[in-house]
């Protein structure tokens, strides 16, 4: 496809950095949306494009980080439970370790009414009548 240049009237419109709002220099490439990188007197880089995308992705990154930490912490807690009590624990023992079955990655309910909760590396099979939970490594 043949490359075309922007029409004059568009090139003359003032444009602004999408991150900091400073005007972009006239005559900059039409696709430029951010200030060019520059260094302050302390040698710190000012990079509006990177800052913009970091900020934009921050909420998802935080959410993902928090979820990943929960998954990891729960797996460590289950490993501790196994070491301390073996592969059958009570609801009280789970609660004492702050492990909540509802935080599982996935769950299923068997025909006989047991709840199978999947954690990272483990299944916990809960019997709500006996308040006992079987831990299985997967």
Enumerate binding residues for Zn ion (CB under 5 A). Answer: 17, 19-20, 35, 48
Nearer to Zn ion, 50 or 66 (CB): 50
125: helix, strand or coil:
strand
Smallest distance from Zn ion to CB 22, Å: 5
Contact 34, 49 (CB under 8 A): yes
Nearer to Zn ion, 48 or 78 (CB): 48
Q: Kindly report the backbone phi and psi dihedral angles of residue 62, in degrees, each rounded to the nearest multiple of 5, phi listed first.
A: -65, -45
Nearer to Zn ion, 52 or 85 (CB): 52
38: helix, strand or coil:
strand
Nearer to Zn ion, 49 or 132 (CB): 49
Smallest distance from Zn ion to CB 93, Å: 55
Give me Rg for the CA atoms of the chain. 28
Smallest distance from Zn ion to CB 43, Å: 18
Give the separation between CA 78 and CA 57, rounded to whole angstroms.
32
Smallest distance from Zn ion to CB 73, Å: 39
């Amino acid at each position: 496809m043949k490359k075309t240049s922007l029409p004059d009237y568009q090139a003359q419109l003032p444009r602004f950095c999408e991150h900091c709002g400073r005007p972009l220099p006239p005559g900059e490439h039409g696709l430029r949306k951010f200030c060019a990188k520059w260094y302050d007197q302390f040698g710190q880089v000012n990079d509006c494009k990177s800052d913009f995308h970091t900020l934009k992705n921050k909420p998802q990154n935080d959410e993902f980080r928090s979820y990943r930490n929960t998954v990891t912490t729960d797996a460590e807690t289950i490993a501790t439970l196994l070491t301390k009590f073996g592969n059958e624990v009570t609801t009280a023992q789970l609660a004492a370790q702050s492990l909540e079955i509802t935080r599982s990655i996935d769950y299923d309910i068997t025909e006989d009414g047991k709840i199978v909760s999947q954690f990272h590396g483990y299944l916990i099979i809960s019997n709500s009548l006996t308040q006992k939970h079987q831990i299985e490594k997967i």
